[in-house]
Amino acid sequence: MERIYIFDTTLRDGEQTPGVAFTCEEKVKIAKALEKLGVDVIEAGFPASSSGDFKAVKLVAEEVQGPTIAALARALPEDIKKAAEAIKPAKKGRIHTFIATSPLHMEYKLKRKPDEVLKIAVEAVKLAREYTQDVEFSPEDASRSDFSFLCEVNQAVVEAGARVVNIPDTVGYATPEEFANLIKKIKVKVPAVNQITLSVHCHDDLGMAVANSLSAAKMGARQIECTINGIGERAGNAALEEIVMAIKTREDFFDFYTGINTKEIYPTSRLVSHLTGIAVQPNKAIVGKNAFRHQAGIHQDGVLKKATTYEIMTPSSIGLKESELVLGKLSGRHAFRERLKKLGFNLTEEQFERCFNIFKNLAEKKKEIFDEDLILIVEEETAKIPEFFSLEYIHTVTGNKVLPTATVRIKKNGRIFQEAACGDGPIDATYKAIDRICNLDLTLVEYSIQSATGGKDALGEVTVRVKKGDILVSGRGSSTDIIEASAKAYINAINRLLYRYTREENARDN
């Protein structure tokens, strides 16, 4: 198999994502993660663009010694000198210089004639070679360039000393078949590129960046430029995780390999998502939240019997612990039974059927069923939850000109306890008063309310999720008075929490 070299431009093109700006420290943090991931080249930035980016590229060059550290430079002497200075501390440094070659860009952006562009490109590569042996050249907007001129430029820059020639689909215009054919024709028309590394850099404007990149690799490109999570200018770049896992999963088709440690894909994706503030869409290939989650009953049954029925790669291969069966209205008995076993419940067939029917009814109302919901269902059907605390009395005062206060009386072991508290609203005040009596230091994770009946006197049902330590429980309460329903739900959750603690302690003692 032949190796495909991975050129990561998250820190350069990825930073061109609207709203994204990395600090020097963040660039170093991501660069170290990329080093751990095993990328071959890290394009750390564009030193001539700002003093901050110059500093960041230099810092990455100083602190990350594994991959080649590349700096982008326009085909201008001052840019190239800045890039050279920034990568000077690198163990392996590369200057990546570029100039547009399409008629559209040359006329309207550069205002240059083709012969002028050719001369500038050659001079830029020659100057860059005075600072490093590793020079990459990109004819910007190559996919919309005149083919004969594109070939002339590529031949000239290789003769001038470029060791890598990159063919960019700058605006994501090409289709896979078209782009593959372009690479094939370049290799035939420009024999010199067969002596150096041919690279591709594809954008995702039409959603074909990954497909274009892989098609180019099949035709002879041996370096693929990409970003973590596919971030970048406009619709972004080819996604590194998709490129790498396609090559790994379909070795039979591509007959390539990369040097990527795929178990670091998910952690690196999370890091970039966190530092950019850009959430990964749930249905994103490889690293999306739903990539290894199964909801349909037929799929869940298949995965439980044999994972490969619906998973073409393992979660562990990208750094995830395991896949997940999402319980909802489409789930079947097999998935429901397996989840109960994982939660430690061993039910009789009669108990199981009752719980399954309750689960299906609940699933019609909720988009997703959580483990706490299942625990609640089983406990209600198979165990009586002791009332450690019970609500005796509640009185609240609120208004737009009044500080919300609540007075609560709770019975515990036959004794009555009373507390009062202020809050941001009557429910907040009520919960603070309950917390003072129970003294459990709880975290309210979720609060929701819905009408259980119709009309002005509708019965309101409140559901809460509270957490203490590693234990997360749900509680429910209903009343025509929303504040009372909220108090009942909160106390119900507390009782369930205490029951869980008691049950676990008994299990340890036995």
The pTM of this model reads 0.74
282 domain-assigned: no
pLDDT, position 510: 55
Query: Does position 455 have pLDDT exceeding 70, yes or no?
Result: no
261 and 304 both lie in a single domain? no
Domain-embedded: residue 290: no
How sure is the predictor about 207, in pLDDT bands with cuts at 50, 70 and 90? very high
Q: What is the tally of structural domains in the chain?
A: 3
What is the model's pLDDT at position 291? Answer: 84
28-73 pLDDT, tens digit each: 999 999 999 999 999 999 999 999 999 999 999 999 999 999 999 9
Q: What is the pLDDT of residues 401-451, one digit of tens each?
A: 899 999 999 999 889 999 999 999 999 999 999 999 999 889 999 998 877
Residue 394 included in any domain:
yes
Which pLDDT belongs to residue 378? 81
Here the CATH number for the domain that contains residue 49 is 3.20.20.70
Mark whether 419 and 332 lie in a shared domain. no
Mean pLDDT of 84-90: 98
Length of the chain: 510
Residue 26 falls inside a structural domain = yes
The sign of the dihedral angle between the CA atoms of 298, 300, 301, 307 is: positive
Q: Report pLDDT digits (tens) over 351-376.
A: 899 889 888 888 887 777 877 778 77
pLDDT of 383 reads 62
Q: How far apart are CA 226 and CA 135, in angstroms?
A: 18
90-94, 136-140, 462-466: which has the minimum mean pLDDT? 462-466
Asked if 12 and 97 sit in the same domain, the reply is yes
Tell me: do 263 and 319 sit in the same domain: no
Q: What is the 3-state secondary structure (H, E, C) of 195-263?
A: HCEEEEEEECCCCCHHHHHHHHHHCCCCEEEEEHHHCCCCCCECEHHHHHHHHHHCHHHHCEECCCCHH
Averaged pLDDT score across all residues of the chain: 91
Whether 287 maps to a domain, the answer reads no
Residue 506 has pLDDT above 70, yes or no: no
Q: At CA 10, angle to CA 6 and CA 13, rounded to 5?
A: 105
Same domain, 12 and 121: yes
Question: CA torsion sign, 474 to 477 to 483 to 487?
Answer: negative
Same domain, 378 and 485: no
Residue 281 falls inside a structural domain: no
Number of Cα atoms under 13 Å in the Cβ half of residue 224: 36
Task: Give yes or no: residues 314 and 418 share one domain.
Answer: no
Q: Both 437 and 465 in a single domain?
A: yes
Looking at the structure, do residues 375 and 394 belong to the same domain, yes or no?
A: no
Closest CA to 223 of 272, 256, 267, 184: 256
Percent of the chain, pLDDT > 90? 67
283 in a domain, yes or no? no
* Claim to verify: residue 325 and residue 441 sit in the same structural domain: no
Among 221, 246, 276, give the residue marking a domain's end. Answer: 276
User: Which of 326, 359, 382 is the endpoint of a domain?
Assistant: 382
Claim to verify: residue 369 and residue 404 sit in the same structural domain: no
Q: For position 406, which CATH number holds?
A: 3.30.160.270
pLDDT, tens digit, for every residue of 241-279?
999 999 999 999 999 999 999 999 999 999 999 999 999
* Residue 149 structural domain: 2-276
Looking at the structure, tell me whether residues 325 and 409 fall in a common domain: no
Single residue among 382, 417, 435 that ends a domain in this structure: 382
The confidence band for 335, taking pLDDT boundaries of 50, 70 and 90, is confident
At 158, the pLDDT band (50, 70, 90 cuts) reads very high
Q: Is residue 230 part of a domain?
A: yes
Confidence tier at 457 by pLDDT (50, 70, 90): low
